[in-house]
Amino acid sequence: MSLGPSPSFSAGSAPPGSIKVMLVDDSAIVRGLVARILAEEPLITVAAQASNGEQAIATLARTPVDVVVLDIEMPVMDGITALPGILRAVPGIKVIMLSSLTQRGATFTFQALKAGAADYIPKPSASSDMSGTGSFKRELIDKIKSLAARRLRPPPPPAAPGLPARPAIPAPPPRPAAPTTATAPAMGAVEVLVIGSSTGGPQALFDIATKLKGVRPRIPILITQHMPPTFTGILAEHMASSSGLPAAEGKDGEKVEAGHIYIAPGGKHMLVEKRGADRFIKITDDPPENFCKPAVDPLFRSVSAAYGAKVMAIVLTGMGSDGGKGGAVIAKAGGLLYAQDEATCVVYGMPAAAAATGLCKAILPLPEIGTLIRKTVGG
């Protein structure tokens, strides 16, 4: 694919309060086109560019940034090798890997996520996407803003001298907060575990998977992680190796079995339907929900219909609100809804939507979620 001549671009000084981004790619054409896309967003400034990992680490010493968009395969020093040095150079920096939609690209991306990358974005396969007229632009800008939000969050302003500590008009009472600790449900109260996640989700899922090592689950586990095709297959392989349990992409028509982990395949929705006393996977090509395919809400709704009150649902880190409405369906049917707490989320979007329903049984840090799951699913 020809992308035309390399555009000229020079990084300017970042306006106060803007998100400072570094682009690292050995292709000057790609860097230029991505820079043009980001230049249309007033809250983002491309503060630096580099053609390889070694140059990126050296540049960070004099130009600190908030987010790095890092290519994986580059000469001199590739993205995987550079990643630890980038994370050391600027504590708290967020790195988005720029990955190809191939088996090799997916494998390298998961290596990067395990090594500390915050997220990834697939390289566009069409010139329209790279030129900023496709989904790549929206996804990249959304990821950069979401990942930088906590890093750039301003501290609360100090109280002005002489003003009362309380407002003159009392604020309405807040909705009662969900507990921050949880006990495992009684044996037999849960017949299926469903999990939804997005940005930061793979790392959270690996943490949970390690907690399942040595456990023989008495219930099935179904997961929707926002990911494209190929990537979900690699995710299943990592879940299998980390947990020691059978894990694979769900297949249309297969029976849901206890002790198995089912991953929604990229580009499709995964549902569950009841036939007699058994439940079966249903894979659909329905339109995206919440801009996502696979999406969490369709899985949650279908599991609620198939299992009634005997559902445990967990919403992990991720952008957007997917899982909130489906989680409410589960909770209103008598199931148990939990969300990851803000402090341990990479992006507190999806769990915040679940928490906002007021129906969560508890809001928990990630380590406690893994412990709760182990106690719940264990035979």
- Choice among 78, 146, 197, 226 that is catalytic: 226
Residue 300 pairs in a beta bridge with none
- Beta bridge mates, 3: none
Q: DSSP code of 348?
A: B
The first and second tokens of residue 114, run together, are: 């395990």
Please list the helix, strand and coil fractions of the chain in percent, rounded to the nearest 5, in that order: 35, 20, 45
Structure tokens, 238: 């990592």
- Structure tokens that stand for 281 in this block: 């996977």
Closest to 265 (Cα-Cα) out of 289, 280, 285: 285
Residue 46 contacts residue 14 (beta carbons within 8 Å): no
Q: Is 226 a catalytic residue?
A: yes
**Candidates 51, 146, 197, 198; catalytic one:** 198
Strand pairing report for 278-284 and 269-275 = antiparallel
**Residue 86 to residue 95: CA distance in whole angstroms:** 8
Closest among 329, 333, 334 to 357, alpha carbons compared: 329
286 is catalytic: no
Distance of CA 244 to the CA centre of its chain: 23
Catalytic residue among 78, 129, 322, 341: 322
Nearest CA to 359 out of 300, 306, 294, 302 is that of: 300
CB 286: neighbour CB atoms within 10 A? 11
Tokens of 42: 């007033």
Sheet arrangement for strand 94-99: 44-50, 19-24, 67-71, 94-99, 119-122
Question: Could you list the active site residues?
Answer: 198, 226, 322
